[in-house]
Amino acid sequence: MRSLTLFVGCAVVAPLFLGCASERRSQEPPSYQQIRQQELASERQEFIAETEKRLSEIDKEIQQLEVKLEHEARS
């Protein structure tokens, strides 16, 4: 009977400990999450700026080629 009580007691208490342990593992400290979000936002902005710069360069190249094509078409 004593082992049954011990087993039932463990069955009641064990999920509480498991919940705490899994909660601790799955959640990072808020400060880490905030820092990571800031890093991601910075990386995103850098990517957008680089992409816009490259698209602007490509647009200029296209315009130059159009002018060249028009000039050659007249000749």
Q: Rounded to an integer, what distance in angstroms lies between the CA atom of residue 13 and that of residue 9?
A: 6
Domain total in the chain: 1
The pLDDT value recorded for residue 46 is: 98
The pLDDT value recorded for residue 55 is: 98
Give Cα separations from 54 to 21, 31, 47, 60 (angstroms): 48, 35, 11, 10
- Domain span including residue 15: 2-74
Our CA angle for 24, 36, 54, nearest 5°, is 155
The pLDDT value recorded for residue 5 is: 54
| pLDDT tens-place values along the chain, 75 residues long | 555 455 555 555 556 555 555 555 667 677 999 999 999 999 999 999 999 999 999 999 999 999 999 999 887
Our CA angle for 69, 71, 75, nearest 5°, is 110
